[in-house]
């Protein structure tokens, strides 16, 4: 009997079972923050070869685990203590849930004998996270613990992926059992459908053959299922233009001649026009959210809809669907390619290409400020697209979506469903750990970066060379844009400059010293490098300099205070009603 089997015959504590299971699943990286209710777990982590990253806030830990998962395709793991530690994970768990990201979140809990007694740092973690996890567990019996861990990883990574939480009372961590191995997984009611119905797939092929103006509408499911290469083959075989959601960017090459860019509120004009004129939409791994459809009653009025998705609850949820196909996008596309006939679609492509030529994305380069769109283009050019880009949420996110041509999957990390400010920087840290060979940028606004700026300490301490590019306009930019366009320029509570009490001071570009905080000094305070630029002529040099520096760098780009994101479909309007569009 070898040494490992002898150890298995011994009784193990709950904490030991957890560490053993994590190592058995080849978990090499964990993000988190210690506390009294998880100190037994951390005491064992101290002696393992698992790389533990101490973030400066639990929200940073869960976003980093999320970024690690998106960049690597492997589940992300984070740990926090009970009470406030657990509640600080909530926003990150909800972010992962909305975007279908596999995370296993481990939280400590007060001893089982104190649960429900308002004990110190007690909170009903499973109750709080029930609606934002794919599944969660409160471990009440140590004999079930090994099986629970096995199920948690299985649920998080199969079917439509998502976050799973395991809440572990302190006495479970310290108690001992001889039941240290999991058995076969058999979860009643959880049987994801992977293979699509062949009758429906053949029917879809018939619809595609008859269509005169088809459009492929791809979402994040393409990337999750690893179907990007099959999507290219499918689109080229039927010569059909492709548009994607925000989370689908990278799932189809941004430089491909059939690509239309993103659709929806800040999508390209030609993608929105194509959808509105289409007679057949082939939706793959997308869920028709309101940022995509605009006014739902006027969405794609002439189109039949084929909807391919692994989650049956998403099919037909927001729009009428003519051919539902439940299954894994990669497997369904594989079957569809076998039965669909090649098409030319020459007349339709002429129309679409004319729109692309007539209504390109465009912006004005203004003097004495940095153009945010130009910054995004320069990062793409200098890295040749061989980089990972994380974003915060707001204007910075939309400029990246519009002007960075993502050619590869898992190169864009962004909070699509929940729209979480503060997501990008810790997610970029997770991505850099997952893919250290690639440059990783976080493109941020001066508002959103401050949501988790404390993670600069994490990056500096561990020498994680993330480059943070702040598009600094002294505002909460996207809200300010809505106030300008729909609230008569009443900039209520969106000015971030030192003159914020006088709203007029926010109406023009002020001296840099009036921007708050001074991001160059802030970077230096943490031990990072700070660079500030004021003109487009300085952009390329700053990016190249940042890439030459091994550690984290902040590039503070002073942009026009009233720079807007166009085109734009107002909330609740039809996709035809674009500001900056032809309608």
Evaluate whether 33 touches 81 at the Cβ level (below 8 Å): yes
For residue 459, the SS3 value is helix
Tokens of 10: 């011994």
Q: How far is residue 548 from each of residues 89, 103, 530, measured CA to CA in Å?
A: 34, 33, 13
φ and ψ at 183, to 5 degrees?
Answer: -105, -170
Q: Active-site residue 58, yes or no?
A: yes
Question: Is 61 in a helix, a strand, or coil?
Answer: helix
Residue of 10, 11, 23, 120 with catalytic role: 120
H helices then E strands: how many in the chain?
Answer: 23, 20
The reply to whether 170 belongs to the active site is yes
User: Choosing from 16, 58, 150, 455, which is the catalytic residue?
Assistant: 58
Active site residue: 265, 478, 568, 578, which one? 478
Provide Rg for the chain, Cα atoms.
25
Active site residue 519: no
Burial 96-124 (b: 16+ CB within 10 A, else e): bbbbbbbbbbbbbbbbbeeeeeebebbbe
Q: Which residues pair with 558 in a beta bridge?
A: 472
Tell which phi-psi region holds residue 16, choosing left (phi > 0), alpha (psi between -120 and 50) or beta: alpha
**In the Cβ-directed half-sphere of 17, how many Cα atoms lie within 13 Å?**
29
Please list, in sequence order, all residues whose beta carbon lies within 8 angstroms of the beta carbon of residue 403, skipping any fewer than 6 positions away.
361, 373, 376, 377, 380
CA 30 to each of CA 53, 178, 434: distance values in angstroms, whole numbers, following the listed order: 6, 26, 11
Residue 478 annotated as catalytic: yes
Check: CB of residue 421 under 8 Å from CB of residue 397.
no
Rounded CA separation 262/33 (Å) = 37
Choose, from 28, 74, 121, 462, the residue flagged as catalytic. 121
- Identified catalytic residue from 134, 170, 304, 432: 170
Can you say how many angstroms the Cα of residue 53 is from the centroid of all Cα atoms in its chain?
A: 20
Catalytic residues, by residue number, are 58, 120-121, 170, 478
């Amino acid at each position: 009997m070898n040494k490992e089997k002898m150890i298995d015959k011994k009784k193990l504590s709950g904490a030991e079972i957890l560490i053993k299971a994590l190592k058995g699943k080849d978990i090499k990286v964990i993000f988190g923050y210690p506390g009294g209710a998880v100190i037994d777990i951390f005491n064992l982590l101290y002696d393992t070869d698992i790389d533990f990253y101490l973030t400066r806030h639990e929200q940073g830990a869960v976003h980093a685990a999320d970024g690690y998962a998106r960049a690597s395709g492997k589940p992300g793991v984070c740990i926090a203590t009970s009470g406030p530690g657990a509640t600080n994970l909530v926003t990150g768990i909800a972010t992962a849930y909305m975007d279908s990201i596999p995370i296993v979140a481990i939280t400590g809990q007060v001893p089982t004998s104190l649960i429900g007694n308002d004990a110190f740092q007690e909170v009903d973690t499973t109750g709080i996270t029930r609606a934002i996890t794919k599944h969660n567990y409160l471990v009440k019996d140590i004999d079930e613990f090994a099986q629970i861990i096995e199920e948690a990883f299985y649920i998080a990574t199969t079917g439509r992926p998502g976050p799973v939480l395991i809440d572990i009372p302190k006495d479970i961590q310290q108690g001992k059992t001889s039941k240290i191995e999991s058995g076969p997984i058999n979860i009643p009611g959880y049987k994801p459908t992977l293979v699509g119905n062949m009758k429906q797939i053949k029917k879809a092929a018939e619809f595609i053959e008859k269509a005169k103006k088809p459009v492929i509408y791809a979402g994040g499911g393409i990337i999750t299922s690893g179907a990007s290469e099959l999507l290219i083959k499918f689109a080229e075989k039927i010569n059909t233009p492709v548009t994607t959601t925000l989370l689908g960017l990278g799932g189809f090459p941004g430089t491909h001649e059939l690509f239309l860019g993103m659709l929806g509120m800040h999508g390209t004009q030609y993608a929105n026009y194509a959808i509105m004129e289409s007679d057949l939409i082939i939706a793959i791994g997308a869920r028709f959210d309101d940022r995509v459809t605009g006014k739902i009653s006027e969405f794609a009025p002439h189109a039949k809809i084929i909807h391919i998705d692994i989650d049956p609850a998403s099919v037909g949820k927001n729009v009428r669907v003519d051919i539902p196909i439940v299954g894994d996008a990669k497997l369904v596309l594989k079957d569809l390619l076998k039965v669909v006939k090649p098409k030319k679609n020459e007349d339709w492509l002429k129309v679409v290409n004319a729109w692309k030529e007539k209504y390109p994305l465009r912006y004005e380069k203004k003097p004495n400020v940095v153009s945010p769109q130009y910054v995004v283009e320069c990062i793409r050019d200098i890295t040749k697209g061989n980089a990972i880009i994380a974003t915060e949420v707001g204007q910075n996110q939309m400029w990246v979506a519009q002007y960075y041509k993502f050619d590869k999957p898992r190169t864009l990390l962004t909070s699509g469903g929940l729209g979480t400010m503060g997501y990008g920087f810790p997610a970029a840290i997770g991505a850099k750990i997952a893919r250290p060979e690639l440059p990783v940028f976080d493109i941020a606004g001066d508002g959103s970066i401050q949501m988790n700026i404390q993670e600069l300490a994490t990056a500096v301490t561990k020498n994680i060379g993330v480059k943070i590019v702040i598009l600094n306009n002294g505002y909460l930019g996207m809200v300010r844009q809505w106030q300008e366009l729909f609230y008569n320029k009443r900039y209520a509570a969106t000015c971030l400059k030192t003159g914020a009490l006088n709203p007029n001071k926010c109406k023009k570009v002020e001296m840099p010293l009036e921007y708050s905080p001074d991001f160059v000094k802030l970077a230096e305070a943490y031990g990072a490098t700070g660079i500030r630029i004021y003109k487009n002529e300085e952009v390329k040099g700053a990016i190249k300099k940042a890439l030459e520096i091994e550690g984290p760098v902040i590039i503070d780009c002073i942009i026009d205070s009233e720079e807007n994101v166009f085109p734009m479909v107002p909330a609740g309007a039809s996709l035809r009603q674009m500001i900056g569009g032809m309608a």
